[in-house]
Structure 1
Amino acid sequence: MGIETWLILLGVAVMTMIILDGQRKKLKKRAGTRHNTSGLKTLTDAVALSGADDILPLAESLNVSESRGEPSQYDGAKSFGDRREGSHLGVATQIAGKVIADESVSIKGRVVGAVIAKNQLIQLSPSSIVCADLEGGHICIGGHLDGDIHASDRLTLMPSATVRGTMSTNRFECHSGASVNGTVARQRMDGSTQKNAR
């Protein structure tokens, strides 16, 4: 065999080793992130560390400080969770139509139509692109939304949120950096709405 053949074989062997090493590191990283997400405290930490792909637990974002009855310092900030309960639409998922759930819904991909999860949590990650009307209890948006929102309890717009449409809610949180183009209406106890801002 000539030197060219040996160089080709050596190149193939090296490329195979690089691919196998990459797969090993990927599996090791996945195993590590499943067991250790407690060190990250806010969405901004998660976005800074991982972009839009890795997501944080939502467990503490709904907690209210019992001492004063006020929202805790992390209220709404730990928005997107790798939670085991609820429905999860991944980054590569695209849905055209109506999504109806009786559990929390986490969206990382694309949805066109409507998402209805009455009295439940609906969360849109920074990677999500949604052209749909949303109806839920607590709606937390970190991605792009073009549609109307009806949150019976609370609407939270994270710093990466871009929203266009009419928003109706009892409580409205808008973090610095969020982009809003539309109207915000306060929901009354009887279910009707009152416009507050444009």
Structure 2
Amino acid sequence: MLKKKSEQFDGSVDTLIGPQVVIRGDLEFSGGLHVEGRIIGKVIATEGGKAMLTLAEGGVIEGEVHAPIVALNGSLTGDVHASERVELAPKARVRGNIHYKVVEMCAGATLTGRLIHVDSLPAEHVVEGGREALVEAA
């Protein structure tokens, strides 16, 4: 199921982090990023572009993730912010909150944290005349 969805992404894998690679520090990417190794730091997709992060079964990320599409089958410690969708495959192990628009979770995946739905139209807090109001962005 995870592989089929990955093939639907219109970009290919632009960057591969192999199983023997350890990256310490923040990583910014665009296009397709496939992680089989270990990243210790934030993983952030460049704003405005199409991007997908795939964390393979043996892959590990220790840090926040910000990307439109996130497909997990490895171990992730940190919050996930996905503007489009999150896929949790059977071997996914997530310790952190998942902010999602659409989520798919297979049997066997584990999440130690919260699932937080992000509305398609974000709300903003506005202070008017000393009062705080919640206004939907257009």
> Where on the TM-score scale, by shorter chain, does this alignment land: which range?
0.7 to 0.9
State which of 106, 120, 129 in structure 2 corresponds to 1:175: 106
Larger RCO: Structure 1 or Structure 2 (Cα < 8 Å, ≥ 6 residues apart)? 2
What's the counterpart of residue 68 of structure 2?
137
Instruction: Report the CA distance between 1:84 and its aligned residue.
Output: 5.6
What displacement does 1:104 show? 1.5
Give the alignment of 1:1-198 within 5 angstroms.
58-60=6-8, 62=9, 85-118=13-46, 119-191=50-122
Q: Deviations over 1:137-186 (max 9, x none)?
A: 11000000000000000000000000010110100111000011001100
SS of 2:69's equivalent? strand
- Report the TM-score when normalising by structure 2: 0.78
5+ residue gaps in structure 1? Answer: 1-41, 44-54, 64-82, 193-198
Aligned CA RMSD, in angstroms, stands at: 2.3
Structure with the higher strand share, 1 or 2:
2
Taking the aligned partners of 1:90 and 1:183, their CA distance within structure 2 comes to: 30
Partner Cα distance (1:122, 1:191) in 2: 23
- What is the CA distance between 1:56 and its match in structure 2? 8.6
Contact 2:12–2:31 (Cα < 8 Å) also in 1: no
Instruction: Map Cα deviations across residues 7-48 of structure 1 (whole Å, 9 max, x no partner).
Output: xxxxxxxxxxxxxxxxxxxxxxxxxxxxxxxxxxx56xxxxx
Identity %: 24
Shifted more, 183-192 versus 107-116: the winner is: 183-192
- How many residue pairs were aligned? 120
Task: Give the superposition deviation at 1:57.
Answer: 9.2
Runs of 4+ in structure 1 displaced over 6 angstroms?
none
Higher helix share: 1
For residue 25 of structure 2, give the secondary structure of its aligned residue in structure 1: strand
